[in-house]
Amino acid sequence: MSKLLPPQLQDLGLRTINPSVFVSSIESKDLGMIHSVNSPIDNKPVAQVHHAPTESTEDTIEASCKAFKHWRNVPAPIRGHLIQDFSHQLRVHKKALAQLITLEVGKLPSEAEGEVQEMIDICEFAVGLSRQLHGLTIASERPDHRLMEQWHPLGPTAIITAFNFPVAVWAWNAALALVCGNSIIWKPSCKAPLCAIACQHILQLSINKFPETPAALSSLIIGDRGVGHALASSPHIPLVSATGSVPMGRSVGTVVAQRLGRSILELGGNNAMIVTANANIDLAARAILFSAVGTAGQRCTSLRRLIVQDSVAFRLLSILKSAYATLNIGDPRELDVLVGPLIDEAAVANHHQAIDSALQQGGKLITPLSHTEAFPDGHYVQPVIMEMPATAPLLQDETFSPILYVLRYTSLDDAIQLHNAVPQGLASSIFTDKLQEAEVFLSATGSDCGIANVNIGTSGAEIGGAFGGEKDTGGGRESGSDSWKNYMRRATNTINFGNDLPLAQGVEFS
């Protein structure tokens, strides 16, 4: 058990009270119910965390409103200094934070470090952005008039995150919201409170260096759905950014819309890859392996459906079968392990249930279904590939585990039709060396997803692009490109510097 304990955790705001149990150093503020946090690696307890009572959310919102009123007056490039410092802290604590991610959600060390790197990347992006939050100057139709746009801070921003990217997705939102002049309130997944405590602690180190800046610039509320509902329904929170399941997004989005607030929803994916007869099959197989099996299939961008041209299906599936046969499953900290645990018992049950349903709906296992009895205590499953009839109803649903469904096609039109015939629209890809096929896939009649790739897999996006998807995925965009505009309010200003009062559209009123 002692190898579970990265010694640097005290630096992350987590106190060790005995060799196997941590407590958060901020737990005593709002003493709510105590919850035990178990590691998915061996299902043993690693921490106890107090959940904030829902009623405490109001105080947090009030403090956040006050912090916003201070922060919005700080010039944006100076706000960037805070994020620059935060990025520096993240570099210092990268290893320890990654170890905590591995401990709490079971990611491989390389993926956990990649996630912290993703935080550092978005911070760098946000620092650059802090000098580029500029609006347009627009030609006015009236003499001696200037028409322009300004982007102003919006207000307290609620960030609701999922367990699978317990730190990076918060950082996408936090870094942008803070340079945009907003205060932030984070409700992390109840399945990953320790990572949230650590990030909040690291960010507070940076906030503390800023004179007069209230600590409530960044708040953390660990709690259940009641907290999420309180944030979603508060008129004091103009923006709610929520990542998670489609039902969660439907509920949060509806509550926010009811009060005409703004939401950014990043919900489920049911991501597919088309592999055409003109694809580099070896490259496709490598991409499929990472996209379908990486993070034990627990990314919203994980590959769920493989749509392969008949003529290359046998070759591709043979390569995949061999690759799946050699996958090492187990404790993610062991060398050579590529598949760590699922997050909890319920996730394991969903995995097995989905395979049973797939078999009932005409599916055939392409890779063997060996059970993972070797790990009686962790939440481990065997990644599988199943060939499915295109009409199987379960192809419409996302199962958050490493199951890859294979569908075959003959014409690219049919492949694209199959590809788009699901309610979700997050990530997609095509493997082909034929320009025409790639361009058709990327065109208006091709993939209907927010992310469409050529010759790379569906997962593992860089932060520079806008991240999000269409249809049931919720339509939100986070991270790079111009996603920052979601975190600000736009004011259109018309300034008359003449001595007359010409009306727009030539209207006469005298």
Active site residues: 266
Tokens representing residue 42 in the block: 């061996």
Site pattern 469..498 for ligand UN1 (x: CB under 6 A) = ------------------------------
List phi, psi (to 5°) of 179.
-70, -25
Instruction: Give the ranges where 259-376 is alpha helix by DSSP (H).
Output: 281-293, 310-325, 345-360
Q: With beta carbons less than 8 A apart as the criterion, state whether 454 and 476 touch.
A: no
- Is the four-CA dihedral 428, 432, 437, 442 of positive or negative sign? positive
Q: Rounded to whole angstroms, how far apart are CA atoms 469 and 474?
A: 6
Site pattern 340..379 for ligand UN1 (x: CB under 6 A) = ----------------------------------------
Query: DSSP states of 26-61 as a string?
Result: TTTSS---EEEEE-TTT--EEEEEEPPPTTHHHHHH
Minimum gap (Å) between residue 310 Cβ and ligand UN1: 29
Size of the site for ligand UN1 (CB under 6 A): 11
- Determine if 459 is a binding residue for ligand UN1 (CB under 6 A): yes
Among 460, 468, 469, 480, binds ligand UN1 (CB under 6 A): 460
Tokens representing residue 210 in the block: 């800023």
- Determine if 164 is a binding residue for ligand UN1 (CB under 6 A): yes
- Determine if 452 is a binding residue for ligand UN1 (CB under 6 A): no
Q: Rounded to whole angstroms, how far apart are CA atoms 142 and 139?
A: 9
Q: With beta carbons less than 8 A apart as the criterion, state whether 404 and 284 touch.
A: no
Q: Rounded to whole angstroms, how far apart are CA atoms 240 and 192?
A: 19
* Rg, the chain, Cα only: 24
Minimum gap (Å) between residue 474 Cβ and ligand UN1: 12
Taking contact as CB under 6 A, which single stretch among the options 39-47, 128-136, 431-439, 453-461 is the one that binds ligand UN1? 453-461
Site pattern 107..146 for ligand UN1 (x: CB under 6 A) = -----------x----------------------------
Q: Rounded to whole angstroms, how far apart are CA atoms 163 and 183?
A: 22
Among 169, 272, 320, 338, binds ligand UN1 (CB under 6 A): 169
Tokens representing residue 414 in the block: 């049919």
Q: Which residue number, 30 or 111, has a Cβ lying nearer to ligand UN1?
A: 111
Taking contact as CB under 6 A, which single stretch among the options 93-101, 332-340, 362-370, 455-463 is the one that binds ligand UN1? 455-463
Minimum gap (Å) between residue 207 Cβ and ligand UN1: 26
Q: Rounded to whole angstroms, how far apart are CA atoms 487 and 181?
A: 9
Q: Which residues does residue 431 pair with via DSSP β-bridges, in sequence order?
A: 275
Q: Which residue number, 222 or 427, has a Cβ lying nearer to ligand UN1?
A: 427
Site pattern 210..249 for ligand UN1 (x: CB under 6 A) = ---------------------------------x------
Among 461, 475, 477, 488, binds ligand UN1 (CB under 6 A): 461
Q: Which residue number, 67 or 252, has a Cβ lying nearer to ligand UN1?
A: 252
Of 359, 349, 412, give the one whose Cα is nearest residue 389. Answer: 359
Taking contact as CB under 6 A, which single stretch among the options 68-76, 318-326, 454-462, 491-499 is the one that binds ligand UN1? 454-462
Minimum gap (Å) between residue 242 Cβ and ligand UN1: 11
Q: Rounded to whole angstroms, how far apart are CA atoms 26 and 245?
A: 29
Q: Which residue has the tokens 């209230």?
A: 214
**3-class secondary-structure state, position 149:** strand
Q: Which residues does residue 153 pair with via DSSP β-bridges, in sequence order?
A: 488
Q: Which residue number, 56 or 429, has a Cβ lying nearer to ligand UN1?
A: 429
Residues 272-301 that bind ligand UN1 (CB under 6 A): 299-301
Q: Which residue number, 71 or 165, has a Cβ lying nearer to ligand UN1?
A: 165
- Determine if 180 is a binding residue for ligand UN1 (CB under 6 A): no
Q: Rounded to whole angstroms, how far apart are CA atoms 125 and 309?
A: 39
The footprint of ligand UN1 (CB under 6 A) covers: 118, 164-165, 169, 243, 299-301, 459-461
